[in-house]
Amino acid sequence: MKLRNFRHYGLGARVIAYDKYPLKSTNGEFEYVDDLKTIFEQSDIISLHMPATKENQHLFNHEVFEMMKDNAILINTARGAIVNTSDLIFALESGEIAGAGIDALENESADLQDSRSTKKITDSDVIKLSMMPNVILTPHSAFHTSESVKNMVTISMDNLKTMFNGVRPNDLVE
């Protein structure tokens, strides 16, 4: 089902977004804002959907958490490096923000990405976050299905063949 007017979905929520490369048309599904500060100050829920880059490492830090509403919830299903974990813990403990849903953490071990792992978790930040009543912490493993693993291998092999033939792959990330 294609959502035609986002304002009629999501319990009537006003949906705002920021993107360096915005779409030409949003079809009324959401509206773009001109800067991240607007997102920080106006959003009740902030959901991160971006790659980790040098420019956005620790983008969500103490200063940003101070700008956010005290009833705001941060959802990070993107990359752990985008959020300063120590600052997040402080913001959650102090009430700067109300809660967090996290499946990507800074320096997460491979065991955290394996929902079947029985290895004991020793990372103090992970332990602290997992015990907080205002945090939902899940393994960063949504990508780990049989189909997605097969696609990663197939795409990688196709790109390798393409490069071997002297052609630049269309989805090469630099």
Contact partners, residue 37, CB within 8 Å, separation at least 6: 67
Asked if 147 is an active-site residue, the reply is no
Of 4, 79, 93, 168, which is the active-site residue?
79
Of 140, 144, 147, 174, which is the active-site residue?
140
Of 58, 108, 144, 174, which is the active-site residue?
108
CA-based angle 62:103:40, to the nearest 5?
35
Cα–Cα distance, 112 to 105 (Å, whole number): 9
Asked if 41 is an active-site residue, the reply is no
Sort 16 into a burial class: Cβ within 10 Å, 0-12 / 13-18 / 19+: middle
Asked if 140 is an active-site residue, the reply is yes
Active site residues: 79, 108, 140
